[in-house]
Amino acid sequence: MIIIWGTRSREVVVGNGSFTCPRCQAQREYVRKRVGTYFTLFFIPLFRIKDHGELIECATCHQKYELSVLDRRPVAGPQAGPIVSEMDRLRATIRRDLEGGMPLQMAQQKLVNEGIHVDSAEHAVTTVAGVGVRTCPSCGLRYISSIERCTSCGATLERRGD
């Protein structure tokens, strides 16, 4: 019996995700592959004899990249910098609510209801409200400086001594 052995390069998928493909210039799905040279017997890979490391392959254009391609900044657009834009979106919402006469306490509770930790919610609301926060003398609700009247009980708001 003749034993046929040899070596063969083989790619094993070890993960996937989405990244900015430099060739597509867009957000794409990728597959992460581990490439190795395998010892084969009867053309069946038995074990890896050389490890060539991992690579990233664009699922759309099939261009292959080094792992460092994942560190590239995302292209500008709605998906760029999710954490930063999420904070900006929240701040804009808080500002709109406060300027519309929503008490600080309620704006904070709204954030907590969205799943934001109470400390972060308080910090965000306080930051947006800035200085000159006014307190309702009758119900204790707090408003930004541009609000004259408590939207809850109608009392005239006190201006904190400045």
End-to-end, the C-alpha distance of the chain in Å comes to 98
Phi, psi of 87, deg, nearest 5: -65, -40
Cβ-based nearer residue to Zn ion, 37 or 152 = 152
Tokens representing 117 are: 């930790």
| CA pair distance 78, 103, nearest whole angstrom | 30
Cβ-based nearer residue to Zn ion, 56 or 90 = 56
Cβ-based nearer residue to Zn ion, 111 or 141 = 141
Interacting residues of 141 by C-beta distance below 8 A, sequence separation 6+: 103, 104, 105, 106, 135, 150, 152
| CA pair distance 7, 2, nearest whole angstrom | 17
Which of 41, 44, 118, 153 forms a contact with Zn ion (CB under 5 A)?
153
> Is residue 150 near Zn ion by the rule CB under 5 A?
yes
As measured in angstroms, the least distance from the Cβ of 13 to Zn ion is: 17
- With both helix axes pointing from N to C terminus, report the angle between 104-113 and 118-129 in degrees, rounded to the nearest 10: 140
Interacting residues of 63 by C-beta distance below 8 A, sequence separation 6+: 21, 22, 23, 57
- Residues near Zn ion (CB under 5 A), total: 13
Cβ-based nearer residue to Zn ion, 128 or 150 = 150
As measured in angstroms, the least distance from the Cβ of 109 to Zn ion is: 16
Of 6-65, binders to Zn ion (CB under 5 A) are 21, 23-24, 58, 60-61
Cβ-based nearer residue to Zn ion, 24 or 70 = 24
Of 104-143, binders to Zn ion (CB under 5 A) are 136, 138-139
Q: Which residues bind Zn ion (CB under 5 A)?
A: 21, 23-24, 58, 60-61, 136, 138-139, 150, 152-153, 155
